[in-house]
Amino acid sequence: MPRERSNCRNNEADSTDAIHWGGATRISVEVTVMVMERRGCVKSLALMYNWKQDDILVTTKPFNIPKQLVWQAYKLVRANAGSAGIDNQSIDEFSQDLKGNLYKLWNRMSSGSYFPPAVKEVAIPKKQGGVRKLGIPTVTDRIAQMTVKLMMEPLLEPHFLNDSYGYRPNKSALDAIGVTRKRCWDYDWVVEFDIKGLFDNLSHELLMKAVKHHISDKWIVLYVERWLTAPIHDPQGICLPRTAGTPQGGVISPLLSNLFLHYAFDHWMTKHHPESPWCRYADDGLAHCRTQREAEEMLKEIDDRFKSRGLEIHPDKTKIIYCKDGARKGRYGNKSFDFLGYTFKARRVKVKSRNSFFIGFTPVVSLKAVKAMTLKLRRGSWRNNTSLSLQELADFINPMLRGWLAYYGKYSRSAMYRVWRCVNNMLLAWAKKKYKSLGNSRTKAGKLMERIHKEMPTLFIHWREGMFGALT
C-alpha cells in the first residue's frame, strides 16, 4: 500500500442530506420496494431480538434502517468491549449520552450521510516474531459496522459452504479440528496453506462484485464501500489511503473476508476438486489428497488460484504432509502439521474397549499452545496477589483453566499435563508468599496444598480432572 497522506477529517460532521453521497432522495414508493426485498431478513431479526413492531419499519428516511437494529448492534459492541479509536472515546464515554449518540448514528446512516472516520492502526507483536497491524475503528463506527453485519450475515450464511469454519455462527475451531481428524484417517496426504496478509490484500473490486451479487440493499453496499476506503491513521499521526484490504480489527472485516474467500477458494475448490475434501478457518486452510503427486499438483493449483485473486500463500507456513501412522509405511520429510493450536502427528493411541494400543495420526495440543499457556500463567497478576483468599484465587483462574480444558483437552486430555503441572507450581509459589508460616518452604507448601486438596478436591478445574498428582 502506498504510504501517502490522506484527508483524515471527521466526516461525521457532514450534512445529513442524502444528495451529498451521490444519489437523489428516494420517494416513498422506492422505499416500499426496498422494504419488501428485505422484509424476510428484518422479520427474522425482529423475532430473534424481540423487537417491537413499531420500531421495525420507518419509511421517512431514504434508507429504512430499524432503530432497534442499531440498538442491538450497540449491545453486541458493548459486550465485546474493545479499545478506543482515533477519537479516544471509550464505550463507557459513548454510553454517557447513549440515546443521543445512537439517534445521531441512526439518523446519519438512514439518510446516507454517515462517513466512517479513519481507522487507528495499532501494531500487535506476533508469537513467532514480527508484528500484526490491527485497524481499530471508533466505538461509533463499530456500532455502524455491527448494524450492517446484522443485516448481511443472515443473507450470506446460506451461501457459505460447510467446511468454512472461521468467524461463523454455530461453527467453531473445534469443529474444524474434528473433521480434519477424521479426514486424516481416510487420506494419506494433506496440503496445508496460510494466506499471507489476507486482510491487507483483499481486492476491493472483486470484493464489491461479490457484495453486490448477494446484497440488494443499497445502503449496505454504500457503507461497505466507504469502510473499504476509509483511511488509516498510523502511529506517527499520518493518514494513509487504503486501496486494498479491510482493517483487521473491524467488526465487518471477518464477514467480508469470508465472502471473498468463498469465491477465491471455497467455491472454486468444491467445483474443480470435488474429490478432495478441504477445511478453512479464516486464512488457514487444508486440502486432503490420496497421493503425493496429487498433493503436489494441488499445492501448485492453490498457489496459482490465490495469485489470480491478488493473494499470496505464506512460503514458510505452506507445505505438504504425509499422514504417517502404524499402517502407512511410506516416507516423506513432513509428517506432522499444526492447525488451530493442535499438532496432527503419529501418536500412540489406546483402544479402551480392547485395552490395546495402535499408532494413529491424531491431534494433540501443540507445543506452541502449551508454551503460550504456561507463559500466561507465569505472567499472571494473581501470582503475587496474596490479598486473595484461596476461593477467590480459584474463582479468578478457573474460567481461564476451564476454557483451556474445553478446547485443548478435547483430544488427548493427558497432553495437558505440562500445563496443569505449571498451574500447580504457581499455586505452590503463591502459597509460600501468602502464608508466612511456611517459611518459604516448598515442602511445607506442598503438604498444605495436599490437605486443601483432600478437603476440597474440586476447588480448581484441573484438580477435578485428577491432575493434583502433577503437584511436584
H helices present in 157-203, as ranges: 173-186, 198-201
CA 291 to chain centre: 33
Consecutive sets of 10 residues in the chain, 472 residues long: mean pLDDT of each? 52 39 35 44 58 54 92 96 93 96 97 96 79 91 98 98 97 97 97 96 98 97 97 89 92 98 98 97 97 98 98 96 90 94 90 77 96 93 89 95 95 90 93 89 90 92 79 50
Q: Give how far the C-alpha of residue 404 lies from the chain's centroid of Cα atoms, to the nearest Å.
A: 17
Domain residue ranges in the chain: 11-165+203-249, 366-470
HEC string of 100-168? HHHHHHHHHHHHCCCCCCCEEEEEEECCCCCEEEEEECCHHHHHHHHHHHHHHHHHHHHHCCCCECCCC
Residue 235, judged by CB atoms within 10 A of its CB (0-12, 13-18, 19+), counts as exposed
Q: For residues 112 and 224, is the Cβ–Cβ distance under 8 A?
A: no
Please give the pLDDT value at position 40: 59
Handedness of CA 301, 305, 308, 312 (dihedral sign): negative
Q: Which distant-in-sequence residues (6+ apart) come within 8 Å of 321 by Cβ?
A: 189, 190, 191, 192, 332, 334, 335, 336, 337, 344
Read off the DSSP letter of residue 191: E
DSSP strand pairing (356-365 vs 189-196): unpaired
Please provide the DSSP assignment of 377-444 as one string: HHT-GGGG-TTS-HHHHHHHHHHHHHHHHHHHTSS-GGGGHHHHHHHHHHHHHHHHHH-GGGTT-HHH
CA gap 430, 446 in Å, rounded: 11
Whose CA is closest to 70, among 26, 34, 101? 101
DSSP class of residue 329 equals: -
Residue in 64, 78, 75 with CA at minimum distance from that of residue 32: 64
- Residue 333: closest CA among 342, 343, 324, 344: 324
Under DSSP, is residue 44 helix (H, G, I), strand (E, B) or coil? helix
Q: Helix-strand-coil percent breakdown of the chain, rounded to 5?
A: 50, 15, 35
Q: Are 260 and 202 in contact (CB under 8 A)?
A: yes
- Provide the pLDDT for residue 354: 72
Selection from 203, 196, 244 nearest residue 1 by Cα:
244
Q: CA 450, CA 224: separation in Å to the nearest integer?
A: 58
Find, among 311, 212, 202, 220, the residue nearest to 260 by Cα: 202
Roughly how many angstroms between the first and final C-alpha of the chain, as a whole number?
A: 53
Nearest to 281, CA basis, from 358, 204, 167, 201: 167
